[in-house]
Amino acid sequence: MSIRRIIRLSLIAATVLIAAGSLRAQDAHKIIDQYVKAEGGAKTLGAIKTITIDGVFPAEGDRKPGAYTFELKSPNRYYVELTTGDHSWIQAYNGKSVWGKDNSGGIATILGDDAVQVEAAAQYYNSHLLDLKKAGIGATFIGHAQVAGRDALQVELASPKGLKLEIFFDPQSHLIAKESMTIAGVKQELVYDDYRVVNGVKMPYKIQLQRNNEKYPVGVTRVAINETIGESVFDFPRKSQIALPDLKALFKEIEDNQKAIDKIKENYAGTRVEDETEYDGNGQQKKHELREYTFFYLDGEEISTLQKKDGKPLDDNERKKEDERVKKQIEDVQNQAAKKEAKEEKDKEKGKDDDDIGIETFLRACQFVNPRRERFRGKEVLVFDFEPNPEYKPKNFVENFAQKLAGVLWVDERAHDVVRLEAYFAENAKIAGGLLASLQKGSNFVFEQQYVNNEVWLPTYDEVHVGVRLLLVKGFKANEIDRYSDYKKFDVKTVETIGNPKQEPQ
């Protein structure tokens, strides 16, 4: 997954216009506006930088008494902990990576959909239900419901990533009576009561937390708003961290090894399914397309041939156009490879470093924290978070984008390859100074690989979620998910066979 691909997706998406919101969405926003006023007002909520809630719950059955901690820090830090006896359960997001601790005591980075759910919870709680449209979160009024025997108004929030959260508002007080969501694969419900004013904000002092079938009646003992909370609360625990290796040497090994990896990849072909969805400014789905490709690699580039659109094979005319497109792409890749090789030779003669944009860009534009060792797809890997390096001055357009990124990197040191990358834009990234388009803060992507035939890491999954504002006015969200499968080895004989590769399992 390259930064250039994110830019390409944004520019392609620039042809889409925003549709008007539905009446049900308007009703939902009216309910939310009433909540904001009842909670303390937009100005008061907008001034919240941190929230801490501490509480306790009694023993029940075989379960010992325990404690509950909930902490937030603007713009997106999130920490929740349940402790019972000698066991504790933790979920946290530090703005770059999601991590957790289970009852067995194991601490690890949380991945995939589970991580997306925790990150979405962090975004939701830190929003205080302000500026949902700006965050790309859609709101829909579902109808009336019952919470603890009382009437409630049910509103569904939908994030650009397709995640859903149910909020139930008390029609009398306009405060939140209940939240229902799935976090890290666990169905979770929180019922709130006994609201009291803390620093001008109404906060619950009774919380009924239910995780799957386990209930925790929490009596809140302390609420603090805008109390100082250090970043260490949200960071991966230091006792589980290690010393970072020489990153300059590590990244150089990865870069030097890339040509060897690209050569091995040319022995493989497979299938890629591309799932693309676009949402309007209210978070409502506007467009959905499903495309299936066969692909192979040439000079490190993926050459994909479209086979099906929304489950239907291409007709003869579409097939002819696709074959012509693929043939031209092959020629372009070969020409670019020749030019790059010639440039590298000249740079070598002049003693000049290669300035092509690669993984080393992150080394220059970012700084690295929270190193740890974990298991990923059966392999021991080095994992660390990264964030923008404010001291680095970008030299070009792509490096300027890279400096706005934060996230998590997984590296197989033995294979000298990046096996997983999660990143998001910590601030808006402008295209043509923002006159053409702007990638909105929070736009993110995931790239993941699998170890095939015990010889090479090959892509298995990538995901892009972008918020785009066009021509300083129009905005929308777009998602793209690619799933790779059916890897087989084959021999590349000629350019003609490359255009329509015949796969020969070995």
CA distance 12 to 14: 5
More confident residue, 40 or 363: 40
Identify the pLDDT of residue 238.
74
15 band by pLDDT with thresholds 50, 70 and 90? very low
Q: Which of 348-352, 421-425, 458-462 has the lowest mean pLDDT?
A: 348-352
pLDDT, residue 174, reads 95
Structure tokens, 360: 């080393």
Spatial distance between the Cα atoms of 439 and 95, rounded to a whole number of angstroms: 18
DSSP class of residue 63? B
Its sign, for the CA torsion 59, 62, 67, 68, is negative
What pLDDT, on a 0 to 100 scale, did the predictor assign at position 355? 45
Burial class (CB in 10 A: 0-12, 13-18, 19+), 476: buried
Give the model's pLDDT for residue 3: 40
Residue 430 has pLDDT above 90, yes or no: no
- Residue 22: the pLDDT is 38
Query: To the nearest whole number, what is the mean pLDDT of the chain?
Result: 81
DSSP structure class, residue 310: T
Among all chains, which residue has been given the structure tokens 């402008």? Answer: 430
Q: What is the CA radius of gyration of the chain?
A: 25
So what's the pLDDT on residue 13? 38
CA–CA dist 284, 139 (Å, integer): 9
User: Given a cut of 80, is residue 411 above it in pLDDT?
Assistant: yes
Give the pLDDT confidence of 235-287 residue by residue, as tens digits.
Answer: 888 767 778 788 878 888 888 888 889 889 999 999 999 998 887 766 677 88
Q: How far apart are CA 12 and CA 1, in angstroms?
A: 17
Cβ(425)–Cβ(439) below 8 Å: yes
Q: Does the structure show a pLDDT above 50 at 499? A: no
pLDDT in tens, 175-217: 999 999 988 888 899 999 999 999 999 999 999 999 888 899 9
Which domains occur in the chain, in start order? 3-13+241-348+358-499 (no CATH), 40-238 (2.50.20.10)
Per-residue confidence (pLDDT) for residue 342, from 0 to 100: 75
Least confident of 297-306, 422-431, 493-502: 493-502
Question: pLDDT tens digits for 280-339?
Answer: 766 677 888 999 999 999 988 899 999 999 999 999 999 999 999 999 999 998 888 788
Q: What's the pLDDT at 12? A: 41
Only one residue has tokens 């059955």, namely 61
Structure tokens, 261: 């990896």
Judged by DSSP in three states, 216 sits in: strand
With bands split at pLDDT 50, 70 and 90, how would you rate the model's confidence at 18?
Answer: very low
Q: What is the mean pLDDT of residues 221-247?
A: 84
Give the integer Cα–Cα distance in Å for 324 and 232: 55
Q: Could you give the angle at the alpha carbon of 13 between the alpha carbons of 97 and 32, nearest 5°?
A: 60
Closest CA relative to residue 456, chosen from 429, 422, 487: 487
pLDDT value for 434 = 47
Name the DSSP letter for residue 60: B
Return the higher-pLDDT residue of 405 and 430.
405
Lowest average pLDDT, out of 40-44, 355-359, 448-452, goes to: 355-359
pLDDT tier for residue 475 given thresholds of 50, 70 and 90 = low
Q: What is the pLDDT of residue 428?
A: 75
Tokens for 70, please give them.
């909930």
